[in-house]
Every structure is written in structure tokens, then in C-alpha cells.
């Protein structure tokens, strides 16, 4: 059981907008920045969003992040087939004194 809770799956048609949620607690998301990773099949995770809503160089602005209280969301607009991947949220947990990941959400582009 992951400390951060994500829906196991999400889907959308090309061009649509999809959001993925990540629910935590006051000791993790509530106090710290949230980061999102994209993992394409058979590859290492790639940093997609850091510090709630910042994108590393090269990440399209179709990807955006937000945080409210102890929850966070990743939004993907203008869905493309290449977005089909697993997405993970992650943050530091003050109580555990370590990093925690969500269980991951498998995004299917219909």
C-alpha cells in the first residue's frame, strides 16, 4: 500500500484533457513540493513536473501540475498517443524522513 494514493488507471481520446490525482497527508504533500514522473514501457522514469508545477526543459506545456492542501494533480491537455505511459507522483515525507511515491497511474490513449 503506497503512502500516496493514485488511481490505477486513466484514459482519454486524442486531443482530450485528462487529470491524474495524488492524495497524501499533511506530513508529505501538505508540507512539501510534489513531483511527477512519466515512465514509458521498458524505460527509466523521467521527471515531468517538479515543485508542484514547474517543467524541466523539453517537457511540453501540455503537462501541468497543481496542489491543494494534501492533494495534487497532473493535467495533460491535447492528449497524444505518445503520452501513453505510467505516471507517478512523489514527495518528501517529514514523518517517515524519506521520499514516498504514489502507486502509479497507467494512462491509456484511446
- By CB under 8 A, tell whether 65 contacts other proteins: no
User: Which sign does the torsion angle of CA 79, 42, 37, 70 carry?
Assistant: positive
- By CB under 8 A, tell whether 2 contacts other proteins: yes
Cβ at position 103, least distance to other proteins in Å:
5
Which of these ranges, 11-19, 58-66, 68-76, 100-108, lies near other proteins under the rule CB under 8 A?
100-108
Inter-residue contact 91 to 97 (CB < 8 Å): no
Beta sheet of 18-23, edge-to-edge order: 18-23, 71-76, 63-68
Tell me the β-bridge partners of 90: 35, 101
- By CB under 8 A, tell whether 45 contacts other proteins: yes
Q: Footprint of other proteins on this chain (CB under 8 A)?
A: 2, 32-33, 35, 37, 39, 44-47, 50-51, 56, 86, 88, 90, 92, 96-104
Amino acid at each position: 500500500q503506497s503512502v500516496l494514493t493514485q488511481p490505477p488507471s486513466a484514459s482519454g481520446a486524442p486531443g482530450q484533457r485528462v487529470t491524474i490525482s495524488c492524495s497524501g497527508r499533511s506530513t508529505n504533500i501538505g508540507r512539501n513540493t510534489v513531483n511527477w514522473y512519466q515512465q514509458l514501457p521498458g524505460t527509466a522514469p523521467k521527471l515531468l513536473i517538479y515543485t508542484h508545477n514547474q517543467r524541466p526543459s523539453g517537457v511540453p506545456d501540455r503537462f501541468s501540475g497543481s496542489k491543494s492542501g494534501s492533494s495534487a494533480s497532473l493535467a495533460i491537455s491535447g492528449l497524444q498517443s505518445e503520452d501513453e505511459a505510467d505516471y507517478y507522483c512523489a514527495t518528501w515525507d517529514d514523518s517517515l524522513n524519506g521520499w514516498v511515491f504514489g502507486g502509479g497511474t497507467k494512462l491509456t490513449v484511446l
